[in-house]
Each structure stands twice: as structure tokens, then as C-alpha cells.
A and B are shown apart, each in its own frame.
Chain A
Amino acid sequence: MSHSTVPRGRAEAKTTPTTPAPGAAGSGGANGKAHARSGRLGFRLRFRRDRTLLLMTLPAVLLVLVFNYVPILGNIVAFQDYDPYLSDNGVVAMFQSPWVGLDQFERVFADSEFWHAVQNTFVLFFLQLVLYFPVPVLLALLINSVIRPRVRAVAQAIVYLPHFFSWVLVVTVFQQIFGGAGIIAQTLADHGYTGFDVMTDPGAFKYLVTVQTVWKDAGWGIIVFLAALSSVSHDLYEAAAMDGAGRWRRMWHITLPALRPVIALLLVLRVGDALTVGFEQLLLQRQAVGVEASEVLDTYVWWNGIRNQDFSYAAAAGLVKGLVGLTLVLVANKVAHLMGEQGVYKK
């Protein structure tokens, strides 16, 4: 490792005569002049100077190009009647498959099951927005008000925990508690009530899914809010108290405004991601509760594409989902800007 660094340092000193100190060569300049590096030097010199850095980013960039960008091109199968059996290699088959224009999309839009999945997706999204979204905010306010460090650390450790469990585990735990053979059903059966099984009840399913999400991730969600709360200046509270503001007024006029940007940001992210509502979670419970209640866009694409091998049709449905999702992010971010918040990215 050190072998390659030393000659490079020397080459740098020779090839970058415009740079005043050797220390400025690989850095942003000592005096916080971030632009000192760029500009003056030509592309060749800059490449020579930064080639190690570029080399370092290469593996990650390659992985992202191969596994995130190349598949985007693969979406052409949505405009084909893709037949994987035309060739041993899926990519070769892609070039041999006939083009059908927008036929696959017409099929998708004509399918009532697709619209049913869309409907389920939105129902789950709104339910999570109303029932899940406020929980981390309230929990963060509560934990923030605990001033004993030990109690606070223990409470945090406990509420963070489920975030690190897999969905398989979470769904299984819920099955053991709320399922037909679960502990609640047994307790009820002992007292003469039989037939309790929330896990396979299509009507209760959307609430069950929301409760699972709260159980798993509400605790983890408090982190950003706690961070925002810890950055609020105590002077504000003190000044407000001097002016006679009680506990609740301080919360209303200082604490909540401090959380506003974070809440807006997370809302934007959530709305932008509205069409993705717990893929793994729903896939795992698809069989138990039935397709009618649990099918959302993601599981619909999975079922048609990977289980039924109707790749072109599923890719078309997935593409519709992706485009609508992208639009939602952009619109939500625009709305955030109009509201005077920063949103996900700057203007």
C-alpha cells in the first residue's frame, strides 16, 4: 500500500507547480478554500492528482452501474413479448424477442387485479400515514422528556431493537401471538371463545400490517427527531419561561417548530415512496391472508413476473409503478419547497 503512495507524492510535487504547498495537493486547502483545488489546474493534472481517489470510488460505482443502471435498460422487455426460452442467455433472448409497443401496458391497465393492487397500496399508504407516522414523533417527545440518563438509555435500547429484526421474524412473532394457534387465541379458547385468528382475517389485515410496522420501526424512527430536539437551544426555552410560557406553551411554540423541518422532510420521503408499502412484510403474509387483502403493486409484479414468468407484463406494471413513484417524489418535493421547507434536495 505504501509502495504506491510514495512515488505518487513525488510526481505530484513535480506536476503541480501551481500548488503552493504539498499539503494542498490532496486536500481542499488549509484555509477552508474549498475551490482552491479546482479551476486553475487542467483536466490532465487534476486526473493525475486525483487518480487514487477515483480508483477508490471505482468498485462502488461499478456495482451501482451494473446493478442499478443496467437493469433500467432491461425495462425494454416491457415493450416486448419477452420469451426467455429463445436463448440460453437472458440478454440474448431480449434482443430476439418481438417488439409489441404498448400492448403490455394496455393489458396491465385492462386488468382489474392490477387496479385492485393499486387500491390496496393506497389504502395501506393512507392508513400508515395516519396511524404510523405520528407515533415516532410522540415517542420521541416522550423519551426526550425523560431526564434520567440511565432510564433513557435503556428505553432507547429497547425501542430500537425490533428495527434490527428481519421481517420473517416479525411476522412469525405476530403469528405466534395473534395467530389461530397463538397465545391470545389459546387464552380466549380457555375461556370459551373460539375462532380467534387475526392473522388470516382479510378485514383486519390492513390494521395488522400497520401495527406490525409500528412495532418494528416506530422506535427506530425517533432517532432523527431526538437529534433535532437535542439541537434546540436552551436559551429559547429559558426566554419563553421568563415570558411566562408554561410547559405546554413551550412545547407548542418551541419544540414543535423545531421538529417541523424534519417532519416535513420525512413526510416528503413517505409520500414519494407511497407506492412501496412493505413488500417483504406483505409477501410473507400473502398466503395466510389471501391475495384479495394483501396484494399491493410490488407483490403483484413479483407474482406475475417471477412466479408466473410473465416477464414483459410484470415489467410493464413495475415500470408504471416506478414512473408514478418518481413523479410523486418530485411533486412532494415541490410542495415542500412551496411550504418553505428544504425537502429532499435543494432547488
Chain B
Amino acid sequence: MTAVIDRPVRKPRWWQAPPRPVWEEEPGRAGLAAKGIVLGFACFAILFPLWIVVVTSLSSKKTIDEAGGLVVIPQDITFIAYQELLGGGQVQRAALVSVGVTVAGTLFSMAVSVLCAYGLSRSGSLGHRWILMTLLATMFFGAGLIPTYLLVQALGLTDTYLALILPSAVSVFNILVLRGFFMGISQELIDSARIDGAGDWRILWRIVMPLSRAVLAVIALFYAVGYWSAWFNASIYLTDQDMMPLQNVMIQLVQKQERPVGLATQINTGGLSALAVQMAVMVLALLPVAVLSPFVQRHFKKGMLTGAVKG
């Protein structure tokens, strides 16, 4: 025991493993290698497809023709596909629609969910059990696709952007996660604010929300990803091609192999490959998500856990 005390505690460098507990065996070489191989394969299987998509989107027509399709090793990088896509026309329009719907939808969903979660987080308040039950019940049964579709139609939402936001604006699961987090905030803090004369609005805005930045970021990301990835609502509620968000345009361009409107003439005549354009559209679709999610990654576990336990 004394030996343990005498040894100076040194924070390990990142490539060195932190000390194991005394009772745990050092892993053998074979075990380490097996672990590395499995984990490495998992990461490779996820990253390799993304790699070739990105590289192909940045390749010139010549490189793509020589590779006979998707490019694995990058050569003469060019941004011509992106220039074409973002220089106007269908894809640029769709990207703007997607950004608009995502931003507006996320703000709306966050406002509604945070308010509701706070409203339900004060224990013993009037009717909060009933409201909670009403919300929870929707996790067990859905109304079904057809009645929902008929309702959206009857409300006159078809061919409006509201049809992309309102029907999926509230996620009960997200409200539960937020509520769980709000309930964990120290009651004394809220009480003292109340003594100082703050009402519920001010407490939510000045105390609860600043203390919950991490979980707010996670939930905002969940909502944003939901709006950014959605295509089904647009496919059934919108008929106007000019209103279609990016995902729907991607279905047309890449899956159905259609040509982007306004680009048909340049492709394959100049130095622009149709494949590069398709891959560039995919990169546009994956970029915001891939860039944003690692930043909130460390909060995922906490958020999911509070939701699972308190819900």
C-alpha cells in the first residue's frame, strides 16, 4: 500500500493508457490486436463510403473517367461541381429551402418544447400529471398515415412550408429529456429567485435555460437533424417542384438519375461529370450534420440518460 502512496500521480499522455485498477489484468497482445481490428473495421466501414463520396465530388471529369466511377485516391482536386450547384438553379434553391425550414423549424420546436418541459417540471403543479399522460400516450399509438394526411389537407397546409414543420414540430421524447434535466436543477436556486421576485418566465429565461445549455444544444441538434433529414412530408404534402427541400432533390438527382434543372447543358459537355455533381449534392446534405454533431457529442450520454431515467 505504501508503494502506491509514494508513487507520484502523473496524468498520462494521450497515447499512454491511464493506469488500470490494481485488480484488473493487463490485456494481452492478442486481445489488444483483436480489439483494434474490430474497432478499426467498424470505423473504416463508416468512414470509407463517406471518403469516396467526398473525394469523387472534388474530382475532375478526367479523374472520374479514368477511375471508371467513384474515385478512391484524390487527384487534381477541383470545386467545379460545387460552383455549378451553388451558382443558382434547382439545387441551390433546395439547399436554401432546407436551411430555412431547418432553422425556422428548430427555433419553433425548441420554443414550444422548452416551454412545455418547464411547465411540467415543477412538481405538484396543477394538472401536470394529466398533461404528461396526454403527451406520453402518443408514444404508444400513432393516428396512422392516412388520417394525418387528410387532416393536413383539410387544414389547408398542403403546398405550404408549414406542412414540413407543424405536423412533426413536437417530439414528446425530447420534451421528456428536457423536463428530466429541468427537474434536476437545484430547487433552492429557483426558490431564492422567486423570493427576489422573479416569475416563471424570468426564472426559465435567466436561471433554468442558462444552466441547461448542454442539454439544449443536444435537443436542438436532434430537432435540426430531424428537419434537415426529412423528405417524406415534402414528398406527400408538396406538389410544387420549386419548394422541394434538398433531400427530395437528392432522391431525384441521385436515385432516379435525373439531371438537375438548369445544369443539364454543362454536364458531360464541359469538364463537369454528372457523378461529381451527384456526389456534391450528397456532400451538401451530409456536411452540416457531420460538422455539428461532434461538437455536442460529449453531452449525448447525459441527455439520453436523463430522458430514459426520468421519463
| A interface residues (Cβ-Cβ under 8 A, vs B) | 1-2, 4-6, 8-9, 21-28, 30, 32, 34-38, 43, 46-47, 49-50, 52-57, 59-61, 63-75, 77, 84, 89-91, 94, 139, 142-143, 145-150, 153, 155-162, 164-169, 171-177, 181-183, 186, 190, 215, 219, 223-224, 226-227, 230, 234, 237-238, 241-242, 246-247, 279-280, 283-284, 288, 298, 301-302, 305-306, 311, 314-315, 318-319, 321-322, 325-326, 329, 345
Contacts and interface: CB of A to CB of B under 8 A. Distances in A.
Contacts of A38: 124
28 contacts: A1-B205, A5-B199, A5-B202, A34-B123, A50-B122, A50-B125, A56-B200, A56-B204, A57-B116, A60-B115, A64-B138, A67-B169, A75-B147, A89-B154, A155-B42, A157-B294, A164-B290, A166-B247, A177-B52, A182-B70, A183-B72, A186-B68, A227-B304, A279-B232, A302-B145, A305-B146, A318-B146, A321-B144
Interface residues of B, number: 111
Interface of B: 14-18, 20-21, 23-25, 35, 38-39, 42-43, 45-47, 49-50, 52-53, 68-70, 72, 111-113, 115-116, 118-120, 122-128, 131, 134-136, 138, 140-151, 153-154, 166-167, 169-170, 172, 175, 187-188, 190-192, 194-195, 197-205, 221, 225, 228-232, 236, 247-248, 250-251, 254-255, 279, 282, 285-286, 289-290, 293-294, 297-298, 300-301, 304-305, 308
Q: Determine chain A's interface SS by DSSP, over half rule.
A: helix
Nearest to B125: A50
B231 to A, nearest CB: 6
Given A37-B123, A60-B115, A176-B70, A71 B301 contact: no
B220 to A, nearest CB: 13
B35 A142 contact: yes
Given A59-B112, A284-B255, 20 more contacts: A23-B191, A23-B194, A30-B187, A49-B126, A56-B204, A59-B111, A61-B116, A61-B134, A70-B151, A71-B144, A72-B141, A150-B15, A166-B228, A169-B250, A169-B282, A177-B52, A224-B304, A306-B146, A311-B150, A318-B146
